Chain A
Amino acid sequence: MGKVGLVVVSHSRRLAEGVAELAREMGMHRVRVQAAGGDADGGLGTSPELVDRAVRTVDDGAGVVLLADIGSAVLISRMLAEEADTTVVLADAPLVEGAVAAASAAASGAGLTEVVAAAQSAYRFRKT
């Protein structure tokens, strides 16, 4: 079985691509990370089609974790995760830290549940 894939869902295409770049690096380039940022025209927003396509791009049979920023990115990710089978999960996690944690765990060969847990543990990384 392959590794868990990640999709970064943000209102901003550039933000999603930046987070995906960072996550790929932290995943030692052994994890599929796809950015799904902005609306269909590249403006600020969320495109369900773009997220759906990204999920299929990174799906390697081991499941896909969605990381979302705010508002419609969260709602559309939640909707797609609910409608998809159980192998697509929206992580309750901060975008950057969650993506880095998930990529690190996925690179080590962790399964879907473990990768989601790693992303969600990112809320505990105190900065002060």
Chain B
Amino acid sequence: MNAADLTAWIRRAAELVTADAERLTALDAAIGDGDHGHNLARGLTAAADALAELPADASPQQVLSTAGRVLVSKTGGASGALYGMALRRAGTALKVDEIDARWLGAALREALAGIRNLGKAEEGDKTMVDAFAKAVAAYDAARHRGTDLAGAARAAASAAEEGAQATVPMQARKGRASYLGPRSIGHLDPGAASTALIFRALADVTGGEG
């Protein structure tokens, strides 16, 4: 995996979130402020467009820090700040041009640390952390079993989807949804849902068609 694959990841994430923008926004309308899907689609598309303007020899670090900066600036919500921070922290962790399974794992762990640190959310709070943490744990577990990068990315994508679904019975403890108290139970968290799409995009571009 290299800088071009990271650029493809952001482009694929933009496609998946754009395709699902109505669903994400509807999820957000139930317990949030009803703008998640369209905001994030706009932010990721702007990030992908900015990456298309980078020089061909841009490093993985440059790709992710550029994508992160644009995402914060163009998404315009809490999710943009959180995903933007995640990408920038992941970029900082990538000090090589050719990313193997170990480097990608380090970058994903750093991204999760960035989200936790900025949002101060824990697992069980009904946020993107519930999907993201499950994905990173599944990635690491797969890698330790000797699975290659594509296989570990597929494991992460499945775990992110399961982590997102697991937010349905949770009561929100962060963000606008937390004001709803027990009435936030029974809804899928939109941030966890978009995290599942972002990990699906990673599995798609790392050759995980199978």
Contact = CB atoms under 8 A, between A and B. Distances in A.
Interface string A94-123: 000000000000000000000000000000
Given A49-B73, A79-B72, A79-B85, A72 B118 contact: no
A75 B118 contact: yes
SS of B interface (majority)? helix
Interface in A40-91: 40, 45-49, 70-72, 75-76, 78-79
B78 interface: yes
B176 A72 contact: no
Interface of A is mostly: helix
A71 B72 contact: no
B73 A72 contact: no
A21 interface: no
B81 A75 contact: yes
A39 interface: yes
Contact of A79 (B81, B175, B176): B81
Contacts of B175: 71
Given A47-B73, A48-B73, A78-B118, A72 B78 contact: yes
A46 B73 contact: no
B205 to A, nearest CB: 27
Contacts of A45: 76-77
Interface in B37-76: 72-73, 76
Nearest to A78: B118
Contacts of A47: 73, 76
